[in-house]
Amino acid sequence: MKDDWATFGADLHLDLTGASGLRTGLMDALREAARSGRLAPGTRLPSSRTLAADLGIARNTVADAYAELVAEGWLTARQGSGTRVAQRAAPRPPAPAAAPRTRPPRGRPAHSLMPGSPDLATFPRAAWLRAARRAVTRAPHDAFGYGDPRGRVELRTVLAGYLARARGVYADPERIVVCAGFVHGLMMLGKVLRARRVREVAVESYGLDLHSGLLTDAGLRIPCLPLDGLGSETRALPGMRGAGAVLLTPAHQFPTGVPLHPDRRAAAVDWARSTGGLILEDDYDGEFRYDRQPVGALQGLDPERVVYLGTASKSLAPGLRLGWMVVPESLVGEVTEAKGWSDWSSSALEQLTLAEFIESGAYDRHVRAMRLRYRSRRDQLVAALAERAPGIRVTGIAAGLHAVLELPRGTEAEVIRSAAWQGLAVQGLSFFRHPDAEDRREALVIGYATPTDSAWTGALDALCRILP
């Protein structure tokens, strides 16, 4: 059978330029590729037969060039190992210009209690790998093509059952849109709201500026709701005449940690029904309730007025880039159009793996195990503070992966500076404050799920040392 160049071994891109002969030009190109580091030491080169066919030149020409470069020390050739780039000193990059220093350079903190992340060391690698193998084995051929912009139907179907069972969400697979996390979902909703001529989205007095920034980037104004021990004051919504939507964290307000009071849940839904507004529900850690049954999702009160957003970022890992929206029926087409007509944001194989992971029961088992683990961390934190910093009040601990440590007025900035000297990364409550918020309390927001087991004791000790 006639040889076909496309059936040969590894590809190698070479630019044969100049007026020199083929052999000399090939040697020059290989030297330059090795000298510049484009071909790293140890890289295996194609056989002389393969490279000759690729370049359209005689095999002897390539063999002679290889032999010459071996003699010069640029390449090595051993029986059974093929021809490889020889080990040479890597080219030294030019030293960057020294930048003026206004402060000592900061090293990486020894410990981190930053909120917003689970313990990444606990990712269920073995169970995920088993689910991935089953998912790939069972995957239909169309899973490897351009998919439905709403996401794989297998995942949407499994999510519909899980969310209804675990979070009290009314979730039909046709109304679920898979996205690459909450931020991606909020970006799409910002487009949809702007296209609907919404001009304002009310937000909570404390929250992530990243989320507020996405809304303002979409051309939306973000007035804030007052916040107290019962959650956001949703009864203020009717007075916000320009607001066409509101972004809430009802199950566990981020970062203060209070759940939205039932009366205020009802007030938010009443406002949405009477004005045609939308509630954007961020259920970022709703599965992690420790002292009683989890608070159900707000979406269950009115699925046609609430957009429910959830992710695997806290329950599994943010690196999976998997999230979901359950949208009102009237909004499905607009959200799908905002996402685009091909599901480019989340790998179909990751979606199928998550579907298998949930359907097999592995997801429930993992969440239960992590719930016990994080509750133990929370209890250790509370006990350590009671013993070593008894003047510090801890709040927001009934659920989630973080706690709020209330500080005396005027001390937050100094405590954060002390933490930096101790090699401890922490976040102050003021970082999350809306510019128009009237509440000016001072506190630390402590992510007790973030450290690994080996780092947890050291992080806790460092925290207790910096507290007033």
Query: For residue 99, is it within any domain?
Result: no
Judge if 128 and 81 occupy the same domain. Answer: no
Phi, psi of 77 (to 5 degrees): -140, 120
Domain end residue (candidates: 317, 340, 360):
360
Domain end residue (candidates: 360, 390, 417):
360
Domain count, the chain: 3
pLDDT value, residue 467: 94
Judge if 355 and 420 occupy the same domain. Answer: no
Share of the chain above pLDDT 70, in %: 93
Judge if 345 and 380 occupy the same domain. Answer: no
CA 163-158-399 angle, 5° bins: 30
pLDDT, tens digit only, all 468 positions of the chain: 444 444 456 788 887 765 567 888 888 889 988 888 888 998 998 988 888 888 888 999 889 989 899 888 899 988 877 899 998 755 455 555 544 443 433 568 899 999 999 999 999 999 999 999 999 999 999 999 888 999 999 999 999 999 999 999 999 999 999 999 999 999 999 999 999 999 999 999 999 999 999 999 999 999 999 999 999 999 999 999 999 999 999 999 999 999 999 999 999 999 999 999 999 999 998 889 998 777 889 999 999 999 999 999 999 999 999 999 999 999 999 999 999 866 677 899 999 999 999 999 999 999 999 999 999 999 999 999 999 999 999 999 999 999 999 999 999 999 999 999 989 999 999 999 999 998 889 999 999 999 999 999 999 999 999 999
Judge if 351 and 383 occupy the same domain. Answer: no
Query: Which amino acid would we find at residue 310?
Result: G
pLDDT of 425-436, one tens digit each? 999 999 999 999
Judge if 169 and 272 occupy the same domain. Answer: yes
CA 82-86-91 angle, 5° bins: 145
Residue 370: name the closest of 92, 112, 121, 62 by CA: 121
Judge if 282 and 388 occupy the same domain. Answer: no
Query: For residue 21, is it within any domain?
Result: yes
Judge if 251 and 339 occupy the same domain. Answer: yes
**E strand residue ranges, 32-74:** none
CATH number at residue 157: 3.40.640.10
Query: For residue 101, is it within any domain?
Result: no
Judge if 270 and 394 occupy the same domain. Answer: no
Residue 205: name the closest of 229, 181, 187 by CA: 229
Query: For residue 46, is it within any domain?
Result: yes
CATH number at residue 81: 1.10.10.10
Query: For residue 94, is it within any domain?
Result: no
Structural domain harbouring 228: 123-360
pTM: 0.84
Alpha carbon distance, N-terminus to C-terminus of the chain: 82
Judge if 131 and 154 occupy the same domain. Answer: yes
Judge if 238 and 212 occupy the same domain. Answer: yes
Compute CA distances 162 → 251, 353, 359, whole Å: 17, 15, 9
Compute CA distances 426 → 183, 339, 393, 429, whole Å: 23, 35, 17, 10
d(CA 70, CA 34): 13
d(CA 363, CA 243): 38
d(CA 358, CA 42): 43
Domain end residue (candidates: 341, 360, 379):
360
Judge if 204 and 263 occupy the same domain. Answer: yes
**E strand residue ranges, 49-134:** 75-78, 82-85, 111-112
DSSP string, 205-223: SBS-HHHHHHHHHTT-B--
Judge if 232 and 132 occupy the same domain. Answer: yes
CATH number at residue 383: 3.90.1150.10
Query: For residue 245, is it within any domain?
Result: yes
Residue 358: name the closest of 310, 393, 398 by CA: 310
d(CA 333, CA 43): 50
Query: For residue 278, is it within any domain?
Result: yes
Query: For residue 344, is it within any domain?
Result: yes
